[in-house]
């Protein structure tokens, strides 16, 4: 076992100086269905469009559905589909990874909720129109969770996750044939707690699995990598990391027979992206850490690019108050070529990065834009090359007021609005008789996206009105307080 001790210098905060100009943002798209919509994975389709897989929860539901959104090359929605398990029992389906199936259609890896306290691994095979062909559920009586799926060169699939075995938490790999029938299950026990986040097939027909372990590590958790043969038998395993928490969230085989690992490591109270390049037997060839523009950088995904370099995706702190999608483009040695943060004044969490066939870069995840308080699926596309100087945050072009949510509400509600330019903003609250009872906000706000919360603990139930004034613009809306 090899432990890599990594020291992060303060000089890394200057790493962005002298970098090449980042590509412009081609577009930013939000996809909305319910109260919570998240895009976990994205693939390119044969016609140059894209398919997003994730989860969605309706406003009046306590369960989640698998959610697919098919879009064209401009990010416009062509169709969307949901797949449910047992709504009547409030049981959920989760989609965490989506892959193009070489035999046609797509395959989704995720979980099925079997009870209020137990999940089981779940696989869904669909055709090119999103219609279900078959599904598979690995049934265990305890909680057993899945994370990622890969297609295999024998027309099958391998799904990885973690399960409780002999008093510890271990990685498992589940092999399915082309019809979704189970071929074998293997468990990997490093000593205590092992959890995978990704699996890919290797050129020899085997598999490479990336995740974390807390057994015999330098820190609380370290990167944990398992190389297995075509039957799932472990060939070698290794541990990499620093003195705190390190998670390997992404892994890819490289054309030279090695592997690129990417994730995050904690440094004091912050985090940095950690990339490690190994040879075919796990020996380290190089390693790099990447900070965010201000502090934290949470590394989530990697894709090897057509030029032999890498595009790393995740989210970062652009101020100390919120996070943006974050792209890092490097050369083949992991040296940074450019970085790009894209977002607004809310938090955005990214999960999957992709270089498209036209050379552009895409990053999918979860962000806040529409009136639902828990956010929408968010997709950002960067052009292949820089074309102009642009505003990083894609500021709104018009004043928009989205009203109060939730409504009706108990104790607190939030009013969201957008400003295309710096404006004087006043939000007053009135009762049913038209009497002003509160001021929720008064002040000057620069251009951007905002949410103001009215805390109504000291007010009685009933009908209220908010009036928002933005310069000469004003809007009034109803709110119902129920206690």
pLDDT digits (tens, 9 = 90+) for 397-441: 678 787 787 788 888 888 878 888 889 999 999 999 999 999 999
Q: Quote the pLDDT of residue 171.
A: 95
CA distances from 472 to 255, 426, 465 (A): 60, 11, 19
Give the percent of the chain with pLDDT over 70: 92
C-alpha 180/C-alpha 50 separation (Å) is 25
If pLDDT is split at 50, 70 and 90, which confidence band does 393 have? very low
CA 78 to chain centre: 22
Handedness of CA 264, 99, 236, 119 (dihedral sign): positive
* R_g (Cα) of the chain, nearest Å: 24
User: 364 or 319: whose pLDDT is higher?
Assistant: 364
What is the DSSP code string of 200-222?
Answer: EE-TTS-EEEEEEE-SS-SSSBE
Tokens read off for 463: 């009908």
pLDDT of res. 222: 93
In the chain, the domains with their CATH numbers are: 10-382 (2.130.10.10), 400-481 (2.60.40.1930)
What is the distance of C-alpha 44 from the center of its chain?
17
User: CA 122: distance to chain centroid?
Assistant: 19
Q: In what side-by-side order are the strands of the sheet with 144-151? A: 144-151, 157-165, 168-176, 182-188
pTM of the model: 0.77
Residue whose C-alpha is closest to residue 130's, from 103, 158, 107: 107
Give the 3-state DSSP-derived string for 275-325, with helices as H, strands as E and coil as C: EEEECCCCCEEEEEEECCCCCCEEEEEEEECCCCCEEEEEEEECCCCCEEE
* Residue tagged 């505003």 (tokens): 391
452-464 as b/e, with b when 16 or more CB fall inside 10 Å?
bebebeebeeeeb
3-state DSSP assignment of residue 91:
strand
CB neighbours of residue 312 within 10 Å: 29
Beta pairing partners, 404: 415
Average pLDDT rounded to a whole number, residues 125-138: 95
Give counts: helices (H), strands (E), the chain: 0, 35
Name, in order, each residue with C-beta under 8 angstroms of 434's C-beta and a sequence gap of 6 or more.
none
The residue assigned the tokens 């890896």 is: 109
Residue 1: band (very low, low, confident or very high) from pLDDT cuts 50, 70, 90: very low
d(CA 108, CA 100) in angstroms, rounded, equals: 9
Q: Provide the 3-class DSSP secondary structure of residue 87.
A: helix
- Whether residue 84 is predicted with pLDDT greater than 80 in this model: the reply is yes
Q: Dihedral angle at the C-alpha atoms of 62, 135, 31, 128, nearest 10 degrees?
A: -160
- Cα 189 to Cα 197: distance, rounded to the nearest angstrom: 15
How much is the mean pLDDT over the chain? 88
pLDDT at 11 over 50: no
> Tokens 């890092």 identify what position?
328
Q: How far apart are CA 189 and CA 71, in angstroms?
A: 41
Q: Which two tokens stand for residue 184?
A: 């074998």
Other Cβ atoms closer than 10 A to 296: 22
Residue of 200, 207, 284, 201 lying closest to 241 (CA atoms): 284
pLDDT > 90: what percent of the chain? 64
- Checking if the pLDDT of 6 tops 50, the result is no
């Amino acid at each position: 076992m090899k432990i890599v001790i990594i020291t992060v210098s303060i000089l890394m905060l200057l790493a962005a100086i002298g970098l090449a100009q980042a590509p412009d943002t081609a577009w930013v798209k939000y996809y909305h269905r319910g109260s919570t919509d998240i895009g976990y994975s994205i693939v390119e389709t044969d016609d140059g469009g894209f398919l997003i897989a994730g989860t969605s929860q309706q406003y009046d539901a306590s369960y989640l559905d698998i959610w697919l959104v098919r879009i064209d090359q401009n990010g416009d929605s062509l169709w969307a589909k949901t797949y449910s398990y047992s709504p009547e029992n409030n049981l959920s389906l989760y989609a965490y990874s989506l892959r193009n199936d070489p035999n046609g259609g797509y395959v989704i890896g995720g979980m099925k909720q079997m009870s209020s306290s137990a999940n089981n691994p779940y696989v869904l095979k669909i055709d090119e129109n999103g219609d279900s062909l078959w599904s598979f559920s690995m049934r265990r009586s305890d909680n057993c969770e899945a994370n990622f799926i890969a297609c295999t060169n024998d027309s099958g699939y391998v799904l990885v996750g973690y399960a409780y075995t002999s008093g510890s938490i271990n990685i498992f790999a589940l092999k399915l044939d082309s019809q979704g029938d189970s071929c074998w299950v293997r468990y990997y026990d490093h000593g205590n707690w092992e959890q995978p986040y990704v699996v890919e097939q290797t050129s020899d027909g085997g598999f490479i699995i990336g995740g974390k372990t807390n057994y015999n590590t330098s820190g609380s958790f370290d990167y944990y990598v398992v190389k297995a043969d075509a039957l799932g038998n472990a060939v070698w395993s290794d541990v990499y990391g620093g003195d705190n928490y390190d998670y390997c969230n992404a892994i890819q085989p490289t054309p030279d027979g090695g592997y690129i690992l990417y994730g995050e490591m904690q440094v004091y109270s912050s985090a940095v992206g950690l990339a490690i390049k190994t040879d075919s037997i796990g020996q380290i060839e190089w390693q790099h850490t990447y900070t965010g523009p201000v502090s934290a950088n949470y590394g989530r995904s990697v894709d090897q690019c057509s030029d032999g370099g890498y595009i790393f995706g995740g989210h970062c702190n652009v101020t100390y108050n919120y996070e943006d999608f974050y792209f890092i483009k490097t050369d083949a040695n992991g040296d940074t070529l450019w970085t790009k943060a894209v977002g607004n004044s809310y938090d955005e969490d990214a999960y999957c990065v992709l270089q498209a066939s036209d050379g552009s870069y895409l990053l999918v995840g979860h962000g806040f834009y529409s009136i639902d308080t828990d956010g929408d699926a968010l997709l950002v596309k960067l052009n292949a090359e820089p074309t102009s100087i642009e505003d990083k945050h894609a500021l709104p072009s018009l004043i928009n007021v989205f009203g109060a949510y939730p409504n009706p509400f108990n104790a607190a509600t939030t009013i969201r609005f957008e400003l295309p330019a710096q404006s004087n903003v006043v939000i007053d609250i009135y009762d049913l008789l038209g009497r002003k009872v509160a001021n929720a906000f008064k002040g000057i706000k620069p251009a951007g996206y905002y949410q103001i919360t009215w805390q109504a603990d000291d007010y009685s139930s009933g009908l209220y009105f908010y009036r928002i004034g933005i310069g000469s613009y004003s809007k009034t809306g109803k709110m119902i307080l129920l206690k």
